[in-house]
Structure 1
């Protein structure tokens, strides 16, 4: 980096952090997840307004590679925290209904997304048609576990039967969606599909059979007194960055290594939300959310250009929204009803499964990097991610307004609003 670039980069980082915080605060005031405001900020700073004049002035071309590098680190850290938040305990007592709803909310949108891809392929050709079809199916199947969890917490539903089942479904969705994306990367990536698969399976075995027990010994809560030592943070950072580098080297994307390392991190048997892993993850996610992820939003926004959309692009956007919203809703609602869930909580589950958030943006960034998306289709898919995330809160409020004192226990049980300990058997 040249010396004259340093102050420009530092000022750009300061501006991004400030504007992202303000945009997130505005989104909260509108009862939306902060990610909505931050993504909209990224789009507004990009070429959509004034043909890129704003972005060129604030983020000159010579510092954008450095912003992209910092954004990559932000994504790595985010994927690690997503992995640590996946907890098999979420499935306890609700495996059947969660598995059924998750399968429906993946299968239907994946199938519709694949059909849509066949329609879009003529106007958005790629080197690998099958890769494009698989990618569009995977992109339509995503549910953002972290954003969904935040919506449930903000609305006081996280400890209800409905909230617990929704989180369990989203956890399964996350695993399935990342698995689908791994297949896409293996098929279409530069590393070669067969080599990636052959090397990834032994690596997966190594992580669970060797690395996980080793981490459990190194980060034992009893040995640390329940308090994170500096060495715990160092071990975590070294491990997740190495894991991300290994999966990228073998031909898969770095996000899979970071996610997998988060999955194998040890959980406290007694207080998983207060164990060493949770505390280290909190420390990582705090700085990441204030600085590095906002950089990712800006970098992603610089690639979105809505000013060039014509009538054909708007028709494609309408099709994308229809498939994304309809596929998730029909798949999740139908599966929930077949599983014996009453209509109202089934509708709420279907709405929540439509939450895509930052997870979708990461998948879209991977698709753009692999050449699965051109710039126009990428822009339309980003809009879809925004719309489907923004609509979740208001629709959930319509289905479940703040309950009044007149609700009886029977009514609340039927609506999925009883606490987990009483309604989930």
Structure 2
């Protein structure tokens, strides 16, 4: 009996080990069963951590759930869990399983942005088109001007950029990083702050979407000139514009029968749901394949979905799973690639603070000025600037690509991580200070939806 117990304990202790044949880099490889065991355990830990950290952020720091989830992703990575319990963290998130987690992350964030697009108020956009384009233009031009000024100094510091990178490529990459607005993060904050149906929320979301798209196109140009070839840029920009034009012009007509079927039946059948999910997968695939990002495919499709009962049914059937189960994988995957211990000297800390200050000035300041020049009030313009200054995990994605492709080094990567986290954490409380509280007191804005997406 004691021998049986000992063998059972030994088998249980070996659950998270690889059980497959040897590979070039390890004595054992992962079997399909090993991937499955890790995936479900990872998912349980991710959901639990995101809910706990999100709840603590709401109660103690008055941060929206989404910011807590971003921090939870970093907590599960090498910056905290890996620092305190490296063996446990490595066993829980072995590098072999990251690709599986990546796919789940893309599905989660893509579905969420599809739902954001489905609730997008085109009427508000038309009414605020001038302001949205002005804010977006300012949010692109100013960051690239700032990048032009600071990049020559950054190039003089060894290890920040790749050896031999041109000033033009370095400037374009820095400009894209500073110009980026955390599109998924911005959408979550807008929903949780009760802004989804307001013109300010629509204006900010529209400008943020355009700024993100431009940043990804600039990244494609950098990768093309850095070794990817001109085809990378042509496919990304040309393919993205072509698909966006197709969906915008023909999508409403193609999808209209689905809306009529739901209205006729009084509910969404599994047949209609399957067709909607199929359309989402195709749109996400095409945008991902050309080199933009799957989230833009989801968002564009959502914008042209028939309004009415179909969207209401999608919010009931799709949104809860996307928000609670799938989206946290997106935050965790990026957190697993984040190191917060790289800025380890006074000089590097000073540079990091300078990059942070320049980024805030370029984004918040420029968007504020643009909103004021198009007729927005001081408080509204300040609120727009505060929201547009949030960069979140989209920033982490783009700098991860830069690190993986050899454009930047680990030290600059860590500085940009710091900038992304600080600008995201500051977005919601500063928005409340400069706009939210006064607007709610005046009855211009509903109560913040605490836990609305919880």
1:62 to 86, 96, 106: 96
Give me the whole-angstrom Cα distance separating, in 1, the residues matched to 2:261 and 2:422.
42
* Correspondence 1:136 to 2:166: no
Partner residue in 2 for 1:19: 49
Is contact 1:33–1:147 with CA below 8 Å preserved after alignment?
no
Alignment partners' CA distance in 1, 2:166 and 2:260: 46
2:302 pairs with 1:267: no
Structure 1 residue 247 and structure 2 residue 287: aligned?
yes
Structure 1 residues 374 and 156: alpha-carbon distance in aligned structure 2, compared to 1, 3 A threshold = same
1:343-362 aligned at under 5 Å gives the runs 343-362=378-397
Structure number with bigger Rg: 2
Deviation at 1:401, TM superposition (A): 6.8
Per-residue CA deviation, residues 106-127 of structure 1 (Å, 9 max, x unaligned), is 3212322354344434531276
Q: In 2, distance between residues paired with 1:18 and 1:34? A: 13
Flag the 1:340–1:92 CA change in 2: closer, same or farther, 3 A: same
Deviation string for 1:63-85 (max 9, x for gaps)? 33322232232233234334434
Distance in 2 between residues matched to 1:297 and 1:26, nearest whole Å = 17
Q: Is the alpha carbon distance of 1:198 and 1:62 closer, same or farther for their aligned partners in structure 2, counting shifts above 3 Å?
A: closer
Structure 1 contact 228–279 (Cα < 8 Å) conserved:
yes
1:147-200: CA deviation from partner (whole Å, max 9, x where unpaired): 4455456555666xxx52343133123123213313422552545223444444
- Per-residue deviation at 1:403? 5.0
- TM-score, normalised by the number of residues in structure 2: 0.76
Partner of 1:8: 38
Greater relative contact order, per chain length (Cα 8 Å cut-off, separation 6+): 1
The alignment yields a C-alpha RMSD, in angstroms, of 3.3
Partner of 1:220, secondary structure, is helix
Q: What is the TM-score with the length of structure 1 in the denominator?
A: 0.81
Aligned counterparts of 2:342 and 2:107: Cα–Cα separation in 1: 31
Do residues 216 (structure 1) and 246 (structure 2) align? no
Q: Which runs of 5+ in 2 are unaligned?
A: 1-30, 447-454
More divergent stretch after superposition (126-135 vs 79-88): 126-135
**CA–CA separation in structure 2 for the residues paired with 1:75 and 1:188:** 24
Superposed displacement of residue 214, structure 1: 0.9
Measured after TM superposition, the shift of residue 210 of structure 1 is 3.6
2:236, 2:290 within 8 Å by CA — same for their partners in 1? yes
Who is 2:368 aligned against? 333
